[in-house]
Every structure is written in C-alpha cells, then in structure tokens.
Amino acid sequence: MSKFRKLVLVSIVGSMTLAGTAQAACWSPAAVDAAHVRDLQSRLMVAALRCAKSEHDVLPHYNRFVRGQKPLLKLGNGILRSHFAKGRNKKQAIKHYDRYAVSLANKYGAGSGDLSECKAMKELASSAADGDGKISSLVNISQFHGLSPHLPSGRCGIVIASSKN
C-alpha cells in the first residue's frame, strides 16, 4: 500500500473516531428533556432555600414537587447519568454528572439574593408540583418560564429517515 493510501486510510479512520466521540458527547432529545427537568429542580431548590423566610415561602411547594414528581426526577437523573457515562468509566461519569448538577445550582445560587422573585418561584413550584406525571409537561413548564439548561457540546444532529421508491 502506498504512503498516500495509508495516509488517506488513517485520516478516514481518525475522522470516524472523532465523529463518534463528538456524537457521544452531544445531547440527545431525551437528555435535553432530562436537563430541562434537572434545571427546573435546581431552580426551585435554590428558590426554596432563598425564599424560606420571605412572605412567599417556596419550600412547601418545592417539597410537594419533589414528592409528587419523584419518579420523573429519578428518570431524568438516570438519563443524565447515562449521558455523562458515554465514553467514560464509572468514576469519571459520576464526576461529570455531579459537576453538571452543581453548576446548575450555582447558576441560580449566584444571584443577588433579591427576594422579589419569591412570589413567581412559589407559583412555578406549585405549577411543577401539579404536573401530570409526564416529562414533557415539566419541560414545557421549564421552557415557559424561560429556563434554559446549559448543554455542553450542544444537541445531537437530527437524522431524518427516508425511503427510496
């Protein structure tokens, strides 16, 4: 085999490996939905702590949300753990998941401490607690309230299947 052909072959194999790595790091639609749910939970958790002594205590509504939506929260966290496990050993996967979850809480915890948002957060927590048990409903609530989770490496490309006649 000529040097040129070897170089081309190595380049093709290398690009396939890189494409596979990039694909593994991207966020599938299920992982994006799980990130929305986790972002919503983190937002409400921080609000529950921040607003505990305010006129609009969020904590009872947050606790009702966590209790009532526990199966969805567990499902979402499982999807996120699987997302961060791609291409990593178990220890690395846990580290990346934990780092991601903490970054969400820190995003909201780094706020000014202004209690003017407590009424809105109480309403958000109540709305989330009253959800119908579907991830899509929590995602819609998250999006409606302008929450947008950080998705390192972005969403996966969309593949559309077609049939040939």
Range of the domain at 63: 24-144
pLDDT tens-digit map of 71-109: 999 999 999 999 999 999 999 999 999 999 999 889 888
Residue 155, beta-bridge partner list: 27
Which of 1-10, 51-60, 149-158 bottoms out in mean pLDDT, i.e. has the lowest? 1-10
In a domain, 97, yes or no: yes
pLDDT value of residue 32: 96
The type of residue at 152 is P
| Within a domain: 130 | yes
Asked whether residue 61 is domain-assigned, the answer is: yes
* Residue 160: per-residue pLDDT: 64
Whether 156 is in a domain gets the answer no
How many angstroms separate the CA atoms of 37 and 48, rounded? Answer: 16
What 81-88 contacts at long range (C-beta under 8 Å, 24+ apart), as own/partner pairs, is 82/31, 83/27, 83/28, 83/31, 83/34, 86/24, 86/25, 87/21, 87/24, 87/25
Whether 8 is covered by a domain: the verdict is no
Per-residue pLDDT averaged across 127-143, rounded? 94
- Residue 85 covered by a domain: yes
Cα–Cα–Cα angle for 65, 112, 149, rounded to 5 degrees:
50
Residue 86 located in a structural domain: yes
pLDDT band at 1 (very low <50, low <70, confident <90, very high): low
Residue 47 lies in a domain: yes
For 36-60, what is each residue's pLDDT tens digit? Answer: 999 999 999 999 999 988 899 999 9
**Number of domains forming the structure of the chain:** 1
- Specify the DSSP class assigned to residue 157: P
Evaluate if residue 133 carries a pLDDT over 70: yes
